[in-house]
Amino acid sequence: MAASVLNSPRAVAMSVFVVRVFVRLRWLAVAHAEFAARLADLEHRVGRHDRDLTAIITAIRRLAEPPDEPPRPRIGFRASHAAPR
């Protein structure tokens, strides 16, 4: 919290901004949990009677998951396998 160290309007504004971001993140987490609970309830009601709806629910859950991070390129010197003669 920069406002406790720096006594400037900019520091106070940034502290308020940070608090608002954390409140928004908490709201998003609750909304996501609520969405997941509703999907689970729908899946429970449908059961195995309608395979198409179950496939759609599964696809929605896969889309709601965060994407995998691509592999990072290695950093540093790369020696060639064969040394020039």
| Chain segment 24-65, per-residue pLDDT in tens | 888 877 788 888 888 788 777 766 667 777 788 888 888 888
- For residues 3-20, average pLDDT: 80
Rounded CA-CA distance 80/70 in Å is 25
Average pLDDT, the chain: 77
Decide if 80 is inside a domain. Answer: no
Structural domains counted in the chain:
1
Decide if 53 is inside a domain. Answer: yes
Decide if 17 is inside a domain. Answer: yes
Structure tokens at 68: 């995998």
Confidence bin at 2 (pLDDT 50/70/90)? low
User: What pLDDT shows up at residue 32?
Assistant: 82
Rounded CA-CA distance 19/4 in Å is 14
Domain of residue 7, residue span? 2-64
Decide if 26 is inside a domain. Answer: yes
Decide if 40 is inside a domain. Answer: yes
| DSSP summary character for residue 18 | H
What is the DSSP secondary-structure string of 47-78? TTS-HHHHHHHHHHHHHHSPPPPPPPPP-S--
Does the pTM exceed 0.85? no
